[in-house]
Structure formats: structure tokens, C-alpha cells
Amino acid sequence: MKTILKRNKLTNEIICDAGEYEILKSRGTTDEAIMEMLTKFNKTKPDVYAEIVELNDIAEFYYKKKDTVYKDKLNEFEQMADCLRELACEIETYIENARKG
């Protein structure tokens, strides 16, 4: 499934997805004609650009991004656990030395 996204050129944020692609396709507009419209639109708007995107590609991108973030967080937690183990050992050593001394 495809859609037309309009993005801010500076921030690359999505400004809108108003469903224009489906409307144009339902009226019999070809992909080539839609691309021509987008090319004209992009030439006239200095701060916005439009593109046709495949929704499956976007979904896959965010799924992979979510998976990467999860793995990064897991690595952070493993590092924190290692640091806490080291700290616990240092505290135990400090307590043992305090009892001896």
C-alpha cells in the first residue's frame, strides 16, 4: 500500500498524509502522473517536499528501529548490572576491611 507524505525539508518531519494517493488512484491517475504532480509540487514549495512511500517499508523501518532500541537498552542494562556487581564487591571488601580493622 502506498501513500503520499509531505515532509518539512529542514527537519524531515512528516507534516501530513491526507490520503491523496488513494484519492488520485481511485480517479484513475497513473503513478507516472502522480510523480509528475509531486515533482511540480516539490519545485513550488521551498520548505516542504512530497514523496510516494510504501507503507510496508515504513512499517519495516520502525520495526527494525524498535528492535535496535530494545537491543541497545538491553546492552545498557547488562552494563549497569556489571557495574552494580563491581560496586557490590567493593562494598563487601570495604565492610570486611572495616570489621578487621
In the chain, where the domains are located: 2-57
What's the pLDDT score for residue 59? 86
What's residue 16's pLDDT? 82
3-15 burial code (b ≥16 CB/10 A, e <16): bbbbbeeeeeeee
Cell of 8: 518539512
Tens of pLDDT, residues 71-87 = 999 999 999 999 999 99
* pLDDT confidence of residue 14: 87
Alpha carbon distance 84, 20 (integer Å): 54
C-alpha cell at 5: 507524505
pLDDT tens-digit readout, 31-67 = 999 999 999 999 999 999 999 988 888 888 888 889 9
Q: For position 18, what pLDDT does the model report?
A: 74
Question: Cα–Cα distance between 31 and 25 in angstroms, integer?
Answer: 8
